[in-house]
Amino acid sequence: MPRIPKYKLKPLGNELTIGQRIAQFRKQKGMTQVELARKIGIEQYLVADYELGRIRLYDEMVAQFAWALGVSADEILGITNRTTKSLPPLRIMKRVKKIEKLPPAKQKAILQTLDMVLDSHDTENNQEG
């Protein structure tokens, strides 16, 4: 059973705690806490507790989170800093996952529609500027 930390440690050279980094990587991957918990094989409330720093993260869990999120353990621990790009919000990532499951013909139709809307938006912005 994970232990509740006795002391609140300050972050290691990074403004984010380990739990906050886990939450950040999870959101960048477009995953919910439930999805991450299922991938690791734990309950959702434990993911929430780890992210909020309510329970101490031990070595095996660091490895599990790193594997599930596709990042290194060093990135989770804040030892190395990955240059993180701003990724789309979770609501967009969920839609992208749904689109990926569609047949190729429907994917093509959606992408053509998106391209048309985006091109129209670009044209409008170029005319204003």
C-alpha to C-alpha distance for 38 and 57, rounded to whole angstroms:
18
pLDDT tens digits, one per residue of 61-77: 999 999 999 999 999 98
* Lowest mean per-residue pLDDT among 3-7, 54-58, 110-114: 3-7
Question: The domain spanning residue 36 has which CATH number?
Answer: 1.10.260.40
Whether the CB-CB separation of 45 and 33 falls below 8 Å is answered with: no
With vertex at residue 67, the alpha carbon angle to CA 64 and CA 71, rounded to the nearest 5 degrees, is: 120
Higher pLDDT, 50 or 91: 50
Q: How far, CA to CA in Å, does 129 sit from each of 99, 119, 123, 124, 126?
A: 33, 15, 10, 9, 5
Same-domain pairing of 69 and 96: no
Under the banding of pLDDT at 50, 70 and 90, the label for residue 11 is: low
Helix (H, G, I), strand (E, B) or coil at 98: helix
Find the domain containing 120 and state its range: 90-128
Same-domain pairing of 101 and 58: no
pLDDT tens digits, one per residue of 20-29: 999 999 998 8
Residue 104 clears pLDDT 80, i.e. is over it: yes
DSSP state of 8: -
Domain assignment present for 13: no
Q: In 3D, which of 93, 57, 49 has the Cα closest to residue 78?
A: 57
Residue bearing tokens 């930390």: 5
Number of domains in the chain: 2
Residue bearing tokens 């190395």: 80
Q: What is the pTM of this model?
A: 0.59
